[in-house]
Amino acid sequence: MCQNRSLFKSLILVYLLSLCAATPAYTQTKEDSLYIQNSYKKIERYIPMRDGANLFTAIYIPNDSTKQYPILFTRTPYSLAPYGADNYKVPIGPNMLFAKEGFIIVYQDVRGRYLSEGEFIANRPIIPNKKSPDDIDESSDTYDTIDWLLKNIKTNGKVGVWGISASGFYTTTAIIDVHPAVKAASPQAPVTDWFMGDDRHHNGAFFLMGSFSFLSSYGQYRDSITTNSASGFYNYGTPDGYDFYLRTGALKNFNTLLKKKNILWNDMMSHPNYDDFWKARNPLQYLKKIKPAILTVGGWFDQEDLYGPLKTFAALEEAGPVNENYLIMGPWRHGSWTRGAGDSLEMIGFKEKTAEFYRKEIEFPFFMHYLKGTENPELPKAYIFETGLNQWRKYTNWPPKEAEQKNLYLQAGGKLSFDKPVYNEEMSEEYVSDPNKPVPYSSEIRLFRGHEFMVEDQGFASTRTDVLVFETDTLKENVTIAGNIIADLFVSTTGTDADFVVKLIDVYPNTSSNKMGGYQLMVRGEVMRSKFRNSFSDPEALVPNKISEVEFDMQDASHTFLKGHKIMVQIQSSWFPLVDRNPQQFINIYEADDKDFKKETHRIYVDRKNPSHLKLRIINNSTNEK
């Protein structure tokens, strides 16, 4: 028994360490390792910032000194390991194509992490109009590092910045108050807004499962400069996350497990609304007059940061056509475009090696053009992979101008149609939501969130009485959506608050010849905490049994529902333990007690006056392939 407990603890620690990796593990080959060791010299330096702090930086320089090379720069809170001038990272750069071409590859531990000096502040706010050396942010740290590199290392004078997840956030901040040597940047799955849609919250609802496991290590106070990662919480006592999180109960109980010392967890609990704390940490408001070329990258099945790339690209477009701005969205989970073939995700096949295509035909030519002056790859404004038909699409705008908004209406009796409801009298579908028996986010027993739920068959949820199901007739022709999805619900409840989870689902035909017959693929799923329906800064209670409109952003999608399939919408009020439970009372959920969680009845209205629906962008042209 003790041996099994020790093994369980070890497995948890391994997983917690993996949470700090923005990309799937790279299978290191002996050939790649030897190539980098034989072709590059690694040096390590402390680079001084304007306020006197020194940031630890690893620099890989090609041995061939007869040429001048551009810099590819990444800043990370997750460690630039391995440490030591004789220990080489494999691969270096975005992938081995860059290592073999010849770039100066630079990694840096951000301020306050691992071997870098200073205080770490997650998603550190930008300071506009800096007036003194003490006015530092991630933008100034990037500027100071690049300035030092150009003065101390032989280069061709051009710099590219890139990074995934949190490093994507640092890439976004790098183009604010940007160093003039930066010619290209690629924020990939960039953390952007921890309240509205990335990682920690979606539409104000707290993403419990991923946040607790991640922040238990990431949010710890650093008491010394070290190469070691902080160990996270591991005393789960069960492999069943649903059981663990339900038994632990109200959110404030988790603080006891973290000994009330976790800085970031305490930040989450201290800011339940979209206040100045959150607003200051969103870098998009500072994306003005951006000069470098930008390649923003994301994945449709990203379990962490789908919001970031979509909103970053949109903000850059809104800022004006100063720079060349591109969006790439592929059929990938978080960071998976950097490794492997990308020809499948769990049980779904994509017909081609999408990740290999991206690395060879998009990312590599992009940086080669802007940093080495090679031929312009002539990328489209938006290079989008369309699931369902499984093909790349090229668009001159995103969302596509040719996409027309159509409303997909919820109908009485569980029907779903593009026709507006015909019932003039008030009509609704209802269900009872019990936060002490929440709807699971997965049918599998999982201790950690994982990514599999993004493509898991949703049939397990459709049979529950606390999940409403609406379904179209069998489609007589393909239906292609491309762009933003908005849920617009008319609801009432016996309580004063409620979460509404809406899932847009592709139902495969249930035939004997179809290996995936009856499979319910979640094309997009999103949650809304209804007290934020009018303002994320100033929440409002629902009035019991009064109809209220709850409209919210479900993010974008590019998908074709094929002829012979059906479109399904599922609606529920818990998604546990992916999302924390709503007590269904208008209170500060982060201070709620276990006794505050109440069973309530919710109604979704489907009549002509209160037509609950999804706003979809529909395109008819499905011939625009790669």
Residues 146-205 pLDDT 10s: 999 999 999 999 999 999 999 999 999 999 999 999 999 999 999 999 999 999 999 999
- Give the pLDDT score at 2: 42
- Give the pLDDT score at 411: 98
Q: Give the residue from 363, 379, 395 where a domain finishes.
A: 379
Q: Nearest-CA neighbor of 537 among 273, 204, 202?
A: 273
Q: Do 302 and 430 share a domain, yes or no?
A: no
Tell me the whole-structure pTM to 2 decimals.
0.95
Is 396 part of a structural domain of the chain?
Answer: no
Is 393 part of a structural domain of the chain?
Answer: no
C-beta separation of 431 from 601 below 8 A: yes
Find the DSSP H helices in 450-553: 459-462
Q: Do 117 and 228 share a domain, yes or no?
A: no
Whether the predicted pLDDT of 61 surpasses 60: yes
Share of the chain above pLDDT 90, in %: 91
C-beta separation of 242 from 440 below 8 A: yes
- Which pair of tokens denotes residue 137? 């942010």
Distance CA 523, CA 554 (A): 11
- Position 515 confidence tier, pLDDT thresholds 50, 70, 90: confident
Q: Give the residue from 225, 244, 279 where a domain finishes.
A: 279
- Give the pLDDT score at 385: 98
Torsion of CA 275, 281, 285, 288, to 10 degrees: 160
- Position 25 confidence tier, pLDDT thresholds 50, 70, 90: low
C-beta separation of 71 from 103 below 8 A: yes
Share of the chain above pLDDT 70, in %: 94
Whether the predicted pLDDT of 138 surpasses 80: yes
Whether the predicted pLDDT of 386 surpasses 90: yes
- Average model confidence (pLDDT) for the chain? 94
Q: What CATH number should be reported for the domain holding residue 559?
A: 2.60.120.260
Q: Do 167 and 82 share a domain, yes or no?
A: yes
pLDDT for 463-474, tens place per residue? 999 999 999 999
Whether the predicted pLDDT of 405 surpasses 90: yes
Is 390 part of a structural domain of the chain?
Answer: no
- Position 22 confidence tier, pLDDT thresholds 50, 70, 90: low
* 275 contacts: CB under 8 Å, gap ≥ 6: 537
Is 391 part of a structural domain of the chain?
Answer: no
CA distances from 477 to 62, 480, 519, 563 (A): 55, 10, 19, 4
Is 472 part of a structural domain of the chain?
Answer: yes
- Give the pLDDT score at 24: 55
Q: Do 564 and 476 share a domain, yes or no?
A: yes
Range with the poorest average pLDDT among 425-439, 449-463, 514-528, 533-547: 514-528
pLDDT for 183-200, tens place per residue? 999 999 999 999 999 999
Domain region containing 565: 404-619
- Give the pLDDT score at 322: 64
Output phi, psi for 284, to 5 deg.
-60, -30
Q: What CATH number should be reported for the domain holding residue 248?
A: 1.10.3020.10
Is 368 part of a structural domain of the chain?
Answer: yes
Higher pLDDT, 616 or 622: 616
Distance CA 137, CA 126 (A): 6
Q: Give the residue from 226, 256, 279 where a domain finishes.
A: 279
Whether the predicted pLDDT of 84 surpasses 50: yes
* 231 contacts: CB under 8 Å, gap ≥ 6: 13, 16, 217
Q: Nearest-CA neighbor of 385 among 626, 35, 611, 200?
A: 626
Q: Do 9 and 96 share a domain, yes or no?
A: no
Is 399 part of a structural domain of the chain?
Answer: no
Q: Do 188 and 230 share a domain, yes or no?
A: no
- Give the pLDDT score at 27: 63
Q: Do 334 and 186 share a domain, yes or no?
A: yes
- Give the pLDDT score at 320: 76
The SS3 assignment for 473 reads coil
pLDDT for 241-254, tens place per residue? 999 999 999 999 99
Is 150 part of a structural domain of the chain?
Answer: yes
Q: What CATH number should be reported for the domain holding residue 285?
A: 3.40.50.1820
Total count of domains within the chain: 3
Q: Do 254 and 288 share a domain, yes or no?
A: no
Helix (H) or strand (E) holding 61: strand 54-62
Whether the predicted pLDDT of 18 surpasses 90: no
Q: Do 600 and 468 share a domain, yes or no?
A: yes
- Position 624 confidence tier, pLDDT thresholds 50, 70, 90: very low
* Mean predicted confidence (pLDDT) in 218-225: 93
* Mean predicted confidence (pLDDT) in 72-79: 98
Q: Do 413 and 472 share a domain, yes or no?
A: yes
Q: Do 143 and 172 share a domain, yes or no?
A: yes
C-beta separation of 510 from 584 below 8 A: no
Distance CA 192, CA 455 (A): 24
Q: Do 185 and 252 share a domain, yes or no?
A: no
The SS3 assignment for 542 reads coil
- Give the pLDDT score at 622: 47
pLDDT for 112-128, tens place per residue? 999 999 999 999 999 99
